[in-house]
């Protein structure tokens, strides 16, 4: 029943020209449904193959992005805190320093920048990888072995990318705060104790939950959009196109859902 609804919605999207966003949302919604269904009915399939695919995805997406995300986090954290330290006293709002840092770094930059880094590195790579597998008949080979490609390729990518983005988000926030701490110490000479006290005072459980929720949603978007673009490849000329579509589609949807989730933060 649900799959019929999704197929009908997809067909509606295909018949309305220009509704790229609608089509993309319907496609990744359908892919999510199919992947979850494939995961539920996994049955006898070996955990060994699934886990090795998940580990590989975490290695490419999370571990190999470690230095890049760390560097970006340090630079972003330093710049934000430098700006805040220098400008907030002029505006007379120095007491909100901790809250600003929590909102900007934890609520916005952490989940958003880590997901953009993952889109650029792993989203395009995943779309290219799955697209190339499609062209070289590796996906057909999986199908004739009785292995569902959604279970073998999309599910591990989903698990790997979501868990990588969640971990990278925590890592980003930590490094950004430490970057800010160093800048605060050496430029404006704010003591470590006061710096941490202001941040901890401003931090609420809701901030942590929303930061986590954002990184999970962005992980789903990156994995599903990239996999969808890869699976749509039909010939070798479409492989680079799939990579471009994956980056553009995932980045756009990330920005869109970031807005919805930020709105949700203030409504709830």
Chain contacts with other proteins (rule: CB under 8 A): 41, 44-46, 48-49, 56, 132-133, 136-138, 140-148, 152
> Is 78 or 128 the residue whose CB approaches other proteins more closely?
128
Distance CA 115, CA 255 (A): 10
> Is 44 or 90 the residue whose CB approaches other proteins more closely?
44
Min separation Cβ 7 and other proteins, Å? 13
Coarse DSSP helix, strand, coil percentages of the chain, rounded to the nearest 5 percent: 90, 0, 10
> Is 140 or 204 the residue whose CB approaches other proteins more closely?
140
Q: Which residues contact 77 (CB under 8 A, 6 or more apart)?
A: 105, 175, 176, 177, 178, 179, 180, 183
Min separation Cβ 76 and other proteins, Å? 33
Min separation Cβ 46 and other proteins, Å? 4
Placement of tokens 């953009």 in the chain:
116
Torsion of CA 242, 243, 248, 251, to 10 degrees: 130
Min separation Cβ 137 and other proteins, Å? 4
> Is 37 or 257 the residue whose CB approaches other proteins more closely?
37
Q: Output the six-digit token pair for 263.
A: 């709105």
């Amino acid at each position: 029943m649900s799959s019929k609804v999704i197929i009908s919605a997809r067909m509606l999207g295909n018949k309305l020209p220009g509704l790229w966003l609608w089509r993309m949302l319907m496609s990744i919604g359908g892919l999510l449904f199919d992947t979850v269904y494939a995961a539920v009915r996994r049955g006898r399939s070996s955990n060994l193959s699934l886990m090795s695919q998940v580990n590989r995805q975490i290695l490419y997406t999370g571990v190999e992005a470690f230095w890049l995300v760390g560097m970006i986090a340090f630079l972003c954290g330093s710049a934000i805190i430098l700006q805040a330290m220098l400008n907030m006293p002029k505006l007379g709002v120095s007491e909100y320093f901790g809250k600003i840092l929590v909102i900007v770094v934890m609520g916005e930059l952490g989940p958003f920048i880590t997901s953009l880094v993952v889109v650029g590195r792993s989203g395009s790579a995943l779309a290219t990888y799955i697209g190339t597998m499609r062209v070289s008949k590796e996906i057909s080979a999986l199908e004739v072995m009785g292995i569902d490609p959604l279970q073998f390729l999309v599910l591990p990518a989903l698990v790997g990318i979501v868990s990588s983005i969640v971990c990278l988000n925590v890592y980003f926030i930590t490094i950004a705060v430490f970057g800010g701490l160093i800048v605060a110490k050496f430029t404006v000479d704010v003591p470590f104790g006061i710096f941490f006290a202001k941040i901890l005072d401003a931090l609420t459980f809701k901030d942590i939950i929303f930061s986590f929720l954002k990184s999970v949603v962005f992980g789903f978007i990156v994995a599903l959009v990239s996999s969808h673009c890869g699976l749509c490849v039909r010939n070798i000329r479409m492989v680079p196109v799939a990579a471009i579509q994956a980056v553009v589609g995932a980045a756009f949807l990330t920005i869109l859902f970031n807005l919805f989730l930020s709105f949700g933060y203030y409504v709830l």
